[in-house]
Amino acid sequence: MKPFILFITGSSASGKTTLYESLQTDAALTGLEFHDMDENGVPAVGRGPWRAFRAQELLYAAGRAHDEGRSSIICGNVQPHEIIESVYFKQAYNVHFLYLEIPLSALRARTKERIREHEARGTFDESFNKSGYARVVQSNREFARRVKVSVLNQKNGHVLRTGRLTKAEMHAAAVRLTKEISH
């Protein structure tokens, strides 16, 4: 089996973390390295320079693992060009991008639920501010469009439509993908 680096990307509320966590706990996937861009928390500048820095940091770690024959799965809002244009990217790497596509109606519903969760915990920030709900949905839609086009333009780009899939179906599709890209 050849090592790979798989970036799971998509808009907020597309199911990235749900899928990532199910893969991370799958005993059949032991030996893979797992990283979530947000695993150490997100600073206030998370939507800007920190996110780009974190993507580079995780690519570097995944590249080292790849060089040693290990595979990595990385979850977060990553755009393929940020990875491919990185000084840490090597053409020899078996890099793939899995874009999670979510219908607008599901994005709206999940965003509202997140606002309720943050309200209950008292953990509002600018992305979960009730008055900014429409702005958050629009921002997620714009990000999703850019990332989807970018992923589809990649030789190793894959799309998983998550809106009507169960967690188990998402998991099974991602496991099939990891098997395909490692052979």
Q: Which residue numbers in the chain have pLDDT < 70? A: 44-47, 118, 122-133
Pick the closest to residue 136 from 154, 113, 152 (CA basis): 113
What is the pTM assigned to this prediction?
A: 0.88
Tell me what pLDDT residue 127 has: 52
CATH of 5-181, one of 3.30.70.100, 3.30.70.260, 3.40.50.300, 3.40.50.150: 3.40.50.300
